[in-house]
Amino acid sequence: MSELQKFDIAVIGAGHAGCEAALAAARMGCKTLACVINLDTIGAMSCNPAIGGLAKGHLVREIDALGGEMAKNIDETSIQFRRLNTSKGPAVRSSRAQADRLLYRLRMKKILEHQENLTIRQTTVDSLIVKNNKISGLRTSLDEEIEVKAVVVATGTFLNGLIHVGLKNFPAGRMGDSPSLSLAAWFREQGLNVGRMKTGTVPRLDANTIDYFELEPQHSDQPPSFFSFTNEGEYRQPQFPCHITYTNENTHQIIRGSIDQSPMYAGIIEGVGARYCPSIEDKVMRFPEKLRHQIFLEPEGIETTEVYPNGLPTSLPLATQVAMIRSIKGLEKAVIVRSGYAIEYDYVDPQELLPSLETKKIRGLFLAGQINGTSGYEEAAAQGIIGGINAVHYCRRIDPLVIDRSEAYIGVLIDDLITRGTKEPYRLFTSRAEYRLLLREDNADARLSEIGDKIGLLPKPQYDDFVAKQKEIERAIEILETTWLKPSTDIDATLHQFGSTGLKQKSSLADLLRRPELKIGNLAELCTSEQRQPLEELNRSRFSEEVQLRVKYKGYIERQTEQVSRFKNLESTRIPEELDYSTLSGLSNEVVEKLRRVKPLSLGQASRISGITPAAISILQIHLRKHRSQGSNKPPAAAGKQ
């Protein structure tokens, strides 16, 4: 076998998961091969042309803090940027950006093409070579055999993909791309628990045929608030507005009249669809009391007239799609340039995985993205970077990187998948995180940059900038806590202007900032000229919001930090892999079966398995405590390997 056919790591697929996995592996120094069916679709946005959103924006910033590429890519190619939930608490504020679809893909392709240690090949992988339950290589459709030590599979919707438009269907990975059939068959042959899922996309419209005159525009935020911690300043691309419109009763009548031609309602689609992103026909049929559904008309780029009507995913026949579109205000003459469709694809039950995203049955095989039952670019990219990092750690025989639920939304995502599994496309929400006040968008670098630096993925300039920023934040907080104001009529008058009460005693600026009605920008007006300059500089700095949040929510943050300490105690109580749960008196057959299937690594993970009761955890805890008191690190004599 020639040297050209030997690699440390192969990544199959170059969507959002595959790109992050390949870049992570190569940047950490491993000789990496990226296998993609079509070079022209590297980094393609198969569905909506946007990155971020509720909880998803948190993931993008976490990927950036570890040394990933998604945040930088969207910052450079965004044509609209907005902060969501700004009127709500800091834990649930998120960022979202519209991308120029073409620029996003081309820039990501360029980054991969110029990455040291990374080779890109347009090829179809038919199967993986396994020896002694370990990955040793892969085979392509051209009968090539390529030697690798580890593989990250990030195939998106391509595994046994089947597209539906009305009652017609045909194999495809996405519209216009061939599916991966042989590799899908290989996965089923390995005895992995494989199921079917379904997702869909909207028809694309020609902007020249849309009447925007009476529609509500939605513009970019000013100034920009970029995803990447390395970016600041002005937007890189021209900014375009989105427009809002709504379905109506006529639209709903058209959908109901053609519901027998919906592949989902006709029983043709077997896969389970996303509960949180239903098709428009599903919305109409499931929520008949709703008189209208909101539609965002999102431009797809600077040099294209294609528009993405977010909110209208459908697999109805094309003629019905046309009638449905033209019943909506502003779209009466709209022309469809690409039809909407649904796609079914194979996924692997994520309970087949370890926290590293390595499969339990085959060493060196890592899965990332939609193959694990998730939906969304951001969820895929987050898994991709972890899969790539841990493939490197596997090759180097060092412990895998496992980020827990208290450290990042990435940890919440992966723990949910491997512990609870999923029967429908999984989507991340802020409500899934128990410690969301600690897992804000603004402090993702504080939570993860040390990890990115330690594993050798975060670029040194970015890490140095992070260290300098943390020192500035600590200094700013120190100024607020050590600058004191005494009661005076002038200060009281100024406080009253801000809707706040006067001082009754000597107070620090930090104490004042904890008042809900006051912000950092108000503090300078309360101070003397000598005190004012550092506060004005702080108000203009890029990290003023983070300083303000740390000070305002100090008590809540400390309380949640204490909760994390208790959580860590459960997480640190390890469960021997060989433990035979059937030997523990008091556990029901159902509990034993669930514990056997998941094989939790810790008491904390066991407590999060669906159906595992507090009583069962107590039994486990007593057993493990008794086992430790006997001074043995081995499983009890009665326990046998499963």
Q: Tokens in use for 159?
A: 């595994």
- 14: phi then psi, degrees, rounded to nearest 5: -135, 40
Q: What is the structure's pLDDT at 3?
A: 53
| Those residues with Cβ within 8 angstroms of residue 130's Cβ, 6 or more apart along the chain or in another chain | 136, 190, 362, 365
Instruction: Determine contact, residues 169/163, Cβ cutoff 8 Å.
Output: yes
The closest alpha carbon to 213, from 46, 365, 330, belongs to: 330
Q: How far apart are the first and last CA of the chain?
A: 38
Overall average pLDDT of the 135-150 stretch = 96
pLDDT band with cut points at 50, 70 and 90 for residue 565? confident
Helical H segments across 276-376, by residue range: 280-286, 318-326
Q: Is the pTM of this model over 0.85?
A: yes
Q: Tokens in use for 589?
A: 């057959």
**Strand 242-246 vs strand 294-299: parallel, antiparallel, or unpaired?**
antiparallel
The closest alpha carbon to 135, from 151, 154, 123, belongs to: 151
pLDDT band with cut points at 50, 70 and 90 for residue 533? confident
User: What strand order describes the sheet that includes 194-201?
Assistant: 168-171, 162-165, 341-348, 194-201
Domains of the chain are: 3-198+345-454 (3.50.50.60), 204-341 (2.40.30.260), 470-557 (1.10.10.1800), 572-629 (1.10.150.570)
Give the integer Cα–Cα distance in Å for 520 and 537: 11
The burial class, CB within 10 Å (0-12 / 13-18 / 19+), for 508 is middle
β-strand partners of 84: 94
Give the integer Cα–Cα distance in Å for 335 and 313: 16
Instruction: Determine contact, residues 316/262, Cβ cutoff 8 Å.
Output: yes
pLDDT digits (tens, 9 = 90+) for 35-85: 999 999 999 999 999 999 999 999 999 999 999 999 999 999 999 999 998
pLDDT digits (tens, 9 = 90+) for 465-510: 999 999 999 999 999 999 999 999 988 999 999 999 999 899 999 9
Amino acid at residue number 579: L
